[in-house]
């Protein structure tokens, strides 16, 4: 009888241990191996890749990747992303992603998209919300402007929702889900995200093919896409084995976020100063904004606030309403000869009110091209700018040495307007070969 009691206790212990391990691994994929502890100065790839040879790669995936994990290009990209430089990119990507892990995971799980596809923004942008490709694709999921507008992502003078982590992730999940319904194959869905579903469908139909395996065997994938799929697979594999790969493991909890619908514009910096909430975190959560001011309430905008600060912010918002705070803000660009007192008088506000919303103006001195924010309502103040961006049809391909100032001078426009229309910082570097919206076709592409 003593032996039976001992045996029963042993079984219970084993079952409980298995349950605990599964719970720990629930948020990180189907397998989280023990962390490899090595010399930080060494390349991580050798011990990690050696460990990989002794296990099945497929079991780390929730989708069938048997068609690619044994190919040489998968090994190539696994080795490349397992180098010190590759690990630094993955680590920095995961650091940027960490604060938004909970909302992104919620969106991903709710969409039914395999968790491995969280690797796509690592490959696309290193999870940079401010990333812009030479072709003009923007945000962590790298949507081009036409695609973004087709997915109801707003791009106007106030915001570029391709940089909104919540909305861009929802759009990407919607795309990937649609591609999977179209092809019934997650690898073809990944291919479509890179090359476009129309192109993939055309190749399949033209060659009477039906599966990724057939397409791959026929060597008909576009070259970029042929490299893209094993890259996503390699990054997903490393992330799913982050402990064994030697990547730092964070044990603190990601931020819980609450989104608050806004019925008026507010100045973010004033909110931060008055409430004492973390400026860096708030600014990271609102990277879609072109200005430190939320858009006018003509279209719904959501303020993103850490859950622990929600009540403080809601109380602050109530005070703004009670004190007759402005319903919205207008943008004004300083011109030659402007003075603060004249701008305030022409706008129908006091100088103190103007300064209270423009703390970036140093000692009352204005710089030509500087942006001011005018509090008000739907009545447009004198000299204020429209909310819509210019609808320029022309395109200009950037040459080595070009700047926003030199290009703006060529077309007789202000560099601030050129920067705003192209969603680029005024002081940013223009990559040669990138394409800008301009007023007309003065430059052949």
- pLDDT tens string 322-347: 777 888 999 998 888 899 999 999 88
Cβ contact 416:404 at 8 Å: no
Nearest Cα neighbor of 250 from 127, 95, 44, 104 is 95
Q: What is the pLDDT of residue 311?
A: 97
Does residue 88 have a pLDDT over 60?
A: yes
- Model pLDDT for residues 127-147, shown as the tens digit of each residue: 999 998 888 899 999 999 889
Q: What is the pLDDT of residue 364?
A: 65
Distances in whole angstroms, Cα of residue 225 to Cα of each of 119, 197, 219, 220, 234: 15, 12, 11, 10, 14
Residue 95 shares a structural domain with residue 240:
yes
Residue 180 shares a structural domain with residue 60:
yes
Q: What is the pLDDT of residue 56?
A: 53
Cβ contact 235:119 at 8 Å: yes
* Residue 79 is assigned to a structural domain of this protein: yes
Domain boundary among 343, 367, 386: 386
* Residue 27 is assigned to a structural domain of this protein: no
Residue 406 shares a structural domain with residue 356:
no
Q: What is the pLDDT of residue 18?
A: 36
| pTM of structure | 0.80
Residue 67 shares a structural domain with residue 153:
yes
Q: Which residues contact 397 (CB under 8 A, 6 or more apart)?
A: 433, 434, 435, 443, 445
Residue 129 shares a structural domain with residue 235:
yes
The residue that leads in pLDDT, 109 or 424, is 109
Residue 316 shares a structural domain with residue 360:
no
* Residue 175 is assigned to a structural domain of this protein: yes
* Residue 36 is assigned to a structural domain of this protein: no
Q: What is the pLDDT of residue 3?
A: 46
Q: Can you list the alpha helix ranges (DSSP code H) found in 112-257?
A: 120-125, 145-150, 165-183, 186-195, 197-206, 212-217, 223-240, 242-245
Please state the domain count of the chain: 4
| Residues of the chain above pLDDT 90, percent | 51
Q: First-to-last CA distance in the chain?
A: 87
Q: What is the pLDDT of residue 229?
A: 92
Q: What is the pLDDT of residue 353?
A: 87
Cross-strand bridge partners of residue 394: 438
The average confidence (pLDDT) of the chain is 83
Cross-strand bridge partners of residue 143: 138
Q: What is the pLDDT of residue 181?
A: 95
Based on its alpha-carbon atoms, the radius of gyration of the chain, rounded to whole angstroms, reads 26
Angle at 311 between CA 305 and CA 316, to 5 degrees: 85
Domain boundary among 177, 210, 245: 245
6-18: average pLDDT: 36
Q: What is the pLDDT of residue 21?
A: 28
* Residue 54 is assigned to a structural domain of this protein: yes
Expressed as residue numbers, the domain containing 303 is 255-325
Does residue 57 have a pLDDT over 70?
A: no
């Amino acid at each position: 009888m003593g032996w039976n009691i001992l045996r029963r206790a042993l079984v219970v212990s084993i079952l409980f241990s298995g349950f605990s391990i599964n719970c720990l691994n629930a948020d990180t994929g189907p397998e989280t191996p023990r962390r490899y502890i090595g010399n930080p100065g060494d390349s991580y790839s050798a011990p990690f890749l050696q460990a990989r040879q002794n296990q099945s790669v497929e079991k780390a995936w929730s989708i069938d990747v048997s068609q690619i994990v044994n190919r040489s290009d998968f090994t190539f990209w696994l080795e490349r992303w397992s180098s010190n430089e590759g690990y630094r990119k993955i680590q920095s990507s995961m650091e940027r992603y960490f604060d938004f892990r909970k909302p992104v995971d919620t969106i991903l799980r709710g969409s039914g998209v395999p968790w491995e596809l969280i690797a796509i923004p690592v490959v696309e942008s290193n999870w940079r919300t401010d990333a812009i490709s030479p072709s003009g694709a923007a945000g962590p999921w790298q949507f081009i402007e036409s695609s973004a507008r087709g997915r109801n992502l707003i791009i106007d003078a106030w915001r570029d929702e391709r940089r909104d982590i919540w909305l861009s992730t929802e759009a990407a999940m919607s795309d990937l889900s649609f591609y999977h319904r179209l092809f019934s194959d997650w690898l073809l869905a990944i291919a479509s995200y890179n090359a476009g579903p129309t192109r993939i469908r055309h190749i399949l139909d033209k060659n009477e093919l039906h599966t990724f395996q057939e397409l791959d065997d026929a060597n008909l994938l576009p070259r970029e896409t042929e490299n893209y799929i094993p890259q996503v697979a390699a990054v997903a594999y490393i992330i799913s084995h982050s402990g064994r790969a030697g990547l730092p493991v964070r044990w603190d909890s990601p931020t819980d976020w609450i989104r608050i619908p806004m019925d008026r514009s507010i100045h973010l910096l004033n909110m931060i100063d008055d409430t004492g909430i973390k400026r860096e975190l708030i600014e990271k959560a609102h990277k879609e904004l072109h200005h430190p001011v939320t858009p006018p309430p003509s279209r719904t905008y959501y303020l993103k606030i850490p859950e622990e600060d929600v009540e403080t912010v809601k109380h602050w918002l109530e005070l703004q309403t009670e004190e007759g705070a402005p319903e919205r803000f207008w943008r004004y660009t300083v011109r030659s000869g402007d003075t603060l007192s004249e701008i305030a008088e022409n706008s129908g506000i006091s100088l103190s009110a103007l300064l209270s919303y423009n703390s970036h103006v140093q000692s009352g001195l204005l710089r030509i091209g500087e942006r001011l924010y005018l509090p008000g309502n739907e009545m447009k103040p004198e000299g204020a700018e429209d909310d819509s961006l210019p609808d320029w049809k022309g395109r200009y391909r950037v040459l080595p040495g070009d700047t926003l100032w030199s290009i703006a001078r060529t077309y007789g426009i202000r560099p601030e307007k050129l920067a705003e229309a192209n969603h680029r910082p005024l002081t940013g570097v223009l990559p040669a070969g990138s394409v800008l919206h301009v007023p007309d076709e003065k430059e052949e592409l």
